[in-house]
Amino acid sequence: MKVKAALAYQAGKPLTIEMVDLGNPQAGEVLIEIKASGVCHTDAYTLSGKDPEGLFPAILGHEGAGIVVEVGKDVKSLQVGDRVIPLYTPECRQCEYCLSRKTNLCQAIRVTQGKGVMPDGTSRFSIDGEKIHHYMGTSTFANYTVLPEIAVAKIREDAPFDKVCYIGCGVTTGIGAVINTAKVEAGANVVVFGLGGIGLNVVQAARMVGANMIIGVDINPGRKALAEKFGMTHFVNPQEIDGDIVSYLVDLTKGGADYSFECIGNVNVMRQALECCHKGWGVSVIIGVAAGGEEIRTRPFQLVTGRVWKGSAFGGARGRTDVPKIVDWYMDGKINIDDLITHVMPIEKINDAFDLMHKGESIRSVVTF
């Protein structure tokens, strides 16, 4: 079938809207009509060419929501008409990783997903007979896409696509990092570096679990008001303080953060995030994705004296299990998504979404089909 897609022909170039060919879902796969997709920093990172795993031409997008319109042979858990969210982190419930209960990093289709193809090693997308790569196994910048059943979360029937698509990445990543990865407890002092689409979800989750101080650190003063609405108690602009940001935060928290989160992708900030943690027990979680080849540094004594460095992918969430619950939290008014979706536009305007992100004017742009 012919589908409408925003195609990334090569790194560093704007996306172009094209009609491309999409093959039928094979055994264990489903065809999804994508109704809306968020535009995340990670799409921009891959498009920039800095992503060592980036493949072109590709259909980017990993934060979608839509409806199942066809199921392949042997599909058991999904039916035509189901509302769904595609998962860039699948949940097969059978691999060594899923069964370990120690990680959400299901490996069932990791190798082929990383090569931009479906589990049988081929792509469903092409244009004029030329292969187009899938992206993160999801390719949600197209009005139809194909996914393996194990990479699809079924959600409730009344969930609005143009809001819950954000649960496909940003919301789950930020909230999950607090609840699943750090396991922040009531009364904790939390520092969040970067108050964008991920960091603001860290802030709202810290408030949900009853954190005491929720300190937001950002060089963009425009982020202060919205972060306060989401629960931030103190704002720090590193460019406006005297002296070192680490000492400033240790003083402000009277000894250091119980938990810190790096939501930028800057290795220098990752060091600050670790070192502002409390001696003996502070835990720092890296969420931001740094450019290929970058390395983190600290003095090993920081770890010897009890600070812990962790990382979090997709908020440690098991998508098929956890994503429907987060959709319920949104529908029940327990989390705020609406105020984070600052721009909605048709897919034809998708390059504007990247421009708004680069100018720091949007939190999340959503494209619709």
| Residue 263 designated active-site | no
How far apart are CB 130 and ligand NAD at their closest, in Å? 28
DSSP string, 185-213: -TT--EEEE--STTHHHHHHHHHHTT-S-
Pure H helices in the chain: 41-48, 96-100, 110-114, 161-164, 170-176, 199-208, 224-229, 245-252, 267-275, 301-304, 319-331, 350-358
Residue 40 binds ligand DAO, judged by CB under 6 A: yes
256 binds, among ligand NAD, Zn ion, ligand DAO, none (CB under 5 to 8 A by kind): none
255 binds, among ligand DAO, ligand NAD, Zn ion, none (CB under 5 to 8 A by kind): none
How far apart are CB 109 and ligand NAD at their closest, in Å? 17
Q: Of residues 106, 165, 276, 277, which has the active-site annotation?
A: 106
How far apart are CB 92 and Zn ion at their closest, in Å? 3
| Residue 63 designated active-site | yes
Residue 63 binds ligand NAD, judged by CB under 6 A: no
Q: Collect all residues with Cβ–Cβ distance below 8 Å to 90 and sequence separation of at least 6.
A: 106, 108, 109, 113, 137, 148, 150, 151, 319
How far apart are CB 85 and ligand NAD at their closest, in Å? 14
CB closer to ligand DAO out of 241 and 289: 289
* Sign of the CA dihedral running 237, 188, 172, 49: positive
Number of C-beta neighbours around residue 50 at 10 A: 18
Residue 154 φ/ψ, nearest 5 degrees: -85, 130
Residue 263 binds ligand DAO, judged by CB under 6 A: no
CA neighbor of 300 nearest in space, from 271, 329, 259: 271
Q: Which stretch binds ligand NAD (CB under 6 A): 29-37, 109-117, 311-319, 335-343?
A: 311-319
Site for ligand NAD in 251-290 (CB under 6 A): 263-266, 269, 287-289
> How far is residue 127's CA from residue 115's CA, in Å, rounded to a whole number?
18
| Residue 169 designated active-site | yes
> How far is residue 288's CA from residue 254's CA, in Å, rounded to a whole number?
26
Residue 249 binds ligand DAO, judged by CB under 6 A: no
110 binds, among ligand DAO, ligand NAD, Zn ion, none (CB under 5 to 8 A by kind): ligand DAO
Q: Judged by CB under 6 A, how many residues of this single chain contact ligand DAO?
A: 10
Strands 125-127, 130-131: pairing kind: antiparallel
| Residue 299 designated active-site | no
- For tokens 């984070």, what's the residue? 340
Residue 169 binds ligand DAO, judged by CB under 6 A: yes
Site for ligand NAD in 154-193 (CB under 6 A): 169, 173, 193
How far apart are CB 112 and Zn ion at their closest, in Å? 14
- Could you tell me where the beta strands, DSSP code E, fall in the chain? 2-7, 16-22, 29-39, 64-71, 83-86, 125-127, 130-131, 144-148, 152-155, 190-193, 214-217, 234-236, 259-262, 283-286, 308-311, 341-346, 364-368
Nearest residue to the partner ligand NAD, using Cβ:
196
Site for ligand DAO in 214-233 (CB under 6 A): none
CB closer to ligand DAO out of 127 and 289: 289
CA distances to 43, 226, 356 from 62, in Å:
8, 25, 18
Interface with Zn ion (CB under 5 A): 92, 95, 98, 106, 108
CB closer to ligand NAD out of 130 and 294: 294
> How far is residue 187's CA from residue 75's CA, in Å, rounded to a whole number?
45
CA distances to 1, 209, 346 from 6, in Å:
16, 39, 11
CA neighbor of 223 nearest in space, from 244, 247, 193: 193
How far apart are CB 140 and ligand NAD at their closest, in Å? 14
Catalytic residues: 40-42, 62-63, 92, 95, 98, 106, 110, 169, 364
Q: Which residues bind ligand NAD (CB under 6 A)?
A: 40-42, 45, 169, 173, 193-199, 217-220, 223, 238, 263-266, 269, 287-289, 312-314, 360
Q: Which residues bind ligand DAO (CB under 6 A)?
A: 40, 42, 62, 105, 107, 110, 169, 289, 313-314
